Amino acid sequence: MTTAPTELRTIGILGAGRVGTAVARQALKAGYEVKIATAKSASEISLIVEIITPGAIAVDAAEAASADLVVIAVPLHKYRTLDPELLAGLTAIDVMNYWAPIDGELDDFEGDPRTSSEIIQAYLPETRIVKSLNHIGYHDLEEHGREPGSPDRRALALASDDEEAKALVAGFIDRLGYDAVDAGPLSAGRAYQPGTEIFASAHNAEQMRPLLEAAKQPAHS
């Protein structure tokens, strides 16, 4: 497996829905080069990318995967359209959520005790998956970013089984305008999935850390 880059310059985004394009616009504001790919060819999406995310480049998936960091923002039920070989060796942020009341039940996730990101990691075994950017609304992502040290700076949690990948994504989150809070291994992403307090509202770093710690404690019967 290749080593993660120490400095990010390019961001590849797989998916051009509301979340993916919001991340793209925020990344552009932060000074990154952004490449967006969907299941369609680059020529088919170039006009919509130009309109919705001016400054981003429409590319095919292979070129998006050549970026320093990849953001997986496809609809969760389409996760098997991702190419494990294409994403091998890469650091990727999983922004997807399994939210049955909204999206309907999915057999791959419904009866599995693992978090959705752990299932994605198993499907993409050679990719460094980091769970983040899933517990902030796409509108909020573009509006709530603040400079480091701002008293109202919002925090975003991240979880991964790869420490190097977490450090890379933490730097990206900081550039987007948020404090990155390390939740722990990928399984710890359960603490900010749909239905949790972290998912439902905004927190600063001091507020988020005890919520993440509390989520690690066994439930009392």
54-65: pLDDT as tens digits = 999 999 999 999
Q: CA-to-CA distance for 87 and 65, rounded, in angstroms?
A: 6
Q: CA-to-CA distance for 53 and 58, rounded, in angstroms?
A: 10
How far CA 166 is from CA of 69, 109, 160, 171, in Å, comes to: 11, 24, 6, 9
With cut-offs at 50, 70 and 90, classify the pLDDT of residue 221. very low
Residue in 176, 131, 172 with CA at minimum distance from that of residue 8: 172
Contact 181, 208 (CB under 8 A): yes
Q: Which pTM was predicted?
A: 0.94
How far CA 111 is from CA of 106, 119, 216, 221, in Å, comes to: 9, 12, 21, 22
Mean pLDDT value across the chain: 95
pLDDT of residue 5: 58
What mean pLDDT comes out for the span 101-127? 94
With cut-offs at 50, 70 and 90, classify the pLDDT of residue 3. low
Element (H, E) at 24: helix 18-29
Contact 50, 58 (CB under 8 A): yes
Tokens (6 digits) for 120: 């994605």
Contact 39, 126 (CB under 8 A): no
Using a pLDDT cut of 70, give the percent of the chain over it. 95
Residue in 197, 99, 120, 208 with CA at minimum distance from that of residue 156: 208
Residue in 52, 55, 53, 82 with CA at minimum distance from that of residue 70: 82
Is pLDDT of 218 > 80?
no
Residue in 145, 134, 61 with CA at minimum distance from that of residue 99: 134
Q: CA-to-CA distance for 93 and 164, rounded, in angstroms?
A: 13
What mean pLDDT comes out for the span 116-127? 98
Contact 91, 71 (CB under 8 A): no
Residue in 72, 123, 127 with CA at minimum distance from that of residue 96: 72
pLDDT of residue 103: 81
pLDDT of residue 53: 98
pLDDT of residue 6: 62
Tracing tokens 């399994």 back to the chain, one arrives at 98
Q: Which of 95-104, 158-167, 194-203 has the lowest mean pLDDT?
A: 95-104
Q: CA-to-CA distance for 30 and 155, rounded, in angstroms?
A: 17
pLDDT of residue 1: 47
